[in-house]
Structure 1
Amino acid sequence: MILAALLRPLTNRLNDFHIGGQHVPRWTAILISYSAIVILLILLGLLFFPLINNQLIILSNLDLEGIYQQIQIPIARIENFLLKYQLIESQPGYLFEEFKSFIVRAITGFDFGTFISQVFSTASSLFIGLIAVAFITFFLLLENGLLRRNLLNLIPNPYFELSVATFTKVEKLLSNYLSGLLLQILAIFTIASLGLSLMRIEYALTIALFAAIANLIPYAGPILGATFGIIVGISTGSFSEDSELTYLLIKILSVFSIVQIIDNILLQPMIFSKSVKAHPLEIFVVIFAGAKIAGVLGMIFAIPVYTIFRVSVMEFYKGYKSYRIFKIKTSN
């Protein structure tokens, strides 16, 4: 239903377009809309391809002995501190050997066959889900407004006016929310990509895109975006001194701090509070309730679901007080 709501304006425009004095068939307009989404996803995926390729090259040239030597220094410092204050009783070098054996056990204990089977199972489930969503969305777009009309036909006449008002208000608020959400993603992508590019961070567009999409997850999304930026920056950079690494972290964190200040002060109040007409405290409680019920997906869908429930209850409550049919039934 969300995809149908997003694609309906483009589909309607294409359907109204004339070729040879005739409208473009609606099924053709839907397929063109689908093609536009697929092309957009491919273009966005191309942003991640250079980064993935770079990481594969790094992994293929990985020097495990060199990594062990780099890790040995901080572990030795921790071990010396613990031995100095008699917090552990062991021979020098014991802590590093334990760490090394733990890594070896983790690698040798990894069941590659089980991992591959899980990947295929997840991929097949995802593919079936995508086909189902595409099929249902196609018919929702093809039979424009049919679902709503059928639902309204099931409603008894005394409640018809109230139900239409509720449907209209829910549709308007959800449309405002989705439009605002798209605006928020574009704004965060623009600000983050511009800031990271000015700071000369590699793969600035890729980091900005991930951060903009991750920001759909309230509260946890910004942390994920900043963490991804730091990981990419460290894995793709070369540092001769510790000060260079510190400088890189400061640059990335400063950009994401500015992004979050703009998002929290300007974007979120405009999108969440005004679009769904709810108090910020309500939004906060609803998001955490969604997280408790369904995790990350619950956080993402908490506001739309709450909007539908809240508007429906308020409209029916107003109808109960205002409409004469209810008053008559109450007096009887």
Structure 2
Amino acid sequence: MQRFFIYLILFIAGFILFAWYFSNITVYLVLSLILAALLRPLTNRLHNFHLLGQHIPRWLAVIISFAAIIFFTVLLALLFFPLINDQIMVLSALDYEGIYEQIQSPVNRLEDWLMQYQLVETPKGSLFEQLQNTALETVAGMDFGKFISTIINTTSSLLIGIIAVAFITFFLLLENGLLRRNLLHLTPNPYFELSVATFTKVEKLLSNYLSGLLIQVIAIFSMASLGLSIVGIEYALTIALFAAIANLIPYAGPILGASFGIIVGISTGNFAEGSELSYMIFKILTVFAIVQVADNIFLQPLIFSKSVKAHPLEIFVVIFAGAKIAGVVGMIFAIPVYTIFRVSVMEFYQGYKSYQIFKIKT
């Protein structure tokens, strides 16, 4: 018994060390597992479909599932394209001389106030000139070669990541249950039953969690797009989509969604008076406040508490622990990782009390 738990602790420690040292591979594997879990129902349904009296080959079903994801991604990109195009047109039509004059006036008033209370002793107009020189020096000091190199490296890493995730996901879907079977083959026979029970419960809870997240994204998108359309905000669908995806980031997501909505509203609207701008911001904040209340009262308790069978306080602590370890990515993956370890520990604890194998003296 003691020897088993020593081996278990060593295995977990080795797994954590491997995941930390090969962080890129770990991220690719986690993303592939999530994508495979999302695509597996569609792949299985396509594979079981009969065409001319024969099952559709599983490799073809996987490719069709991949095509569905690509098609959905293209649709999302097309939803954002009009907004991006409009922002480019707005930037190209900006009156930079007018902006220069608008900035100069408040800076001069600030300088007068500082000089009035003798907080600075500089010639009149020198504050704006200093700000202008600082901005010019910053732009001149930028290493555009390094900047372009960074963009190229980032793009290369992204493409490599996409190819790796697609490759791993393809084989996870093609060999349905391959990873689970291989892990169970490594399990000693006395602990086989316990391992099967643990895998089954973890898969069920993670499946419930992912399904709940999908329902949450759809619900927030529907509520936000409907609310923003009713109050007359442009690009309501685009703002709602961004807010729904950003909401996957616990706690910070709603703030990002509302901020994005306000930025889009300001950059695409024509406001003759300041009161119109304030009214537009008020309408956006009201819509997101209603959506957030509905999310907190109905959606999140269903998804984060019931789907993983954990107390809300546990979820709160786990999310912030994930943020401390890995930032935004840690916040997103904190709950699935915690679910795996939590269920595993609980199952082994129940096995310790119930299974006869743990009562054998070593």
Instruction: Give the shorter-chain TM-score range.
Output: over 0.9
Q: Which of 76, 79, 82 does residue 108 from structure 2 map onto?
A: 76
Q: How many residues align?
A: 330
Amino acid aligned to 1:210: F
Task: Determine the structure 1 residue equivalent to 2:85.
Answer: 53
**Residue 356 of structure 2 corresponds to residue 324 of structure 1:** yes
CA-atom RMSD, angstroms? 1.3
Match of 2:21 in 1: none
Instruction: Tell me whether 1:97 sits opposite 2:129 in the alignment.
Output: yes
1:115 aligns with 2:155: no
Which has the larger displacement, 260-269 or 107-116? Answer: 107-116
Q: What CA distance in whole angstroms lies between the structure 2 residues aligned with 1:109 and 1:61?
A: 27
> Does residue 314 of structure 2 align to residue 276 of structure 1?
no
**CA–CA distance in structure 1, aligned partners of residues 323 and 258 of structure 2:** 21
SS of the residue 2:359 aligns to: helix
Residue number in structure 2 paired with 1:182: 214
Match 2:61 to one of 22, 26, 29: 29
- In structure 2, the residue matched to 1:124 is 156
2:72 to 29, 36, 40: 40
What is the deviation of 1:67? Answer: 0.8
1:196 Cα deviation after fit: 1.0
Give 1:62 deviation, angstroms: 2.2
Specify the alignment match of 2:241 in structure 1.
Answer: 209
Q: Name the % identity.
A: 74
- TM, length-normalised to structure 2: 0.88
Aligned partner of 1:168: which letter? T
Of 204-213 and 95-104, more deviation after overlay is shown by 95-104
Pick from 98, 107, 118 the counterpart of residue 66 of structure 1.
Answer: 98
Q: Who is 1:250 aligned against?
A: 282
Higher relative contact order (CA 8 A, sep 6+): 2
Q: Amino acid of the residue matched to residue 283 of structure 2?
A: K
1:199 deviates by 1.4
Per-residue CA shift, 1:142-188, capped at 9, x if unaligned? Answer: 11112211211211111111111100000000000000001111111
Query: How many angstroms apart in 2 are the aligned matches of 1:102 and 1:230?
Result: 29
SS in 2 for 1:288: helix
TM-score under structure 1 length normalisation: 0.96
Aligned equivalents of 1:78 and 1:219: distance in 2?
36
Aligned-partner SS, 1:276: coil
Structure 1 spans left out of the alignment, 5+ residues = none
| Cα gap change, 1:93 to 1:247, in 2 (>3 Å) | farther
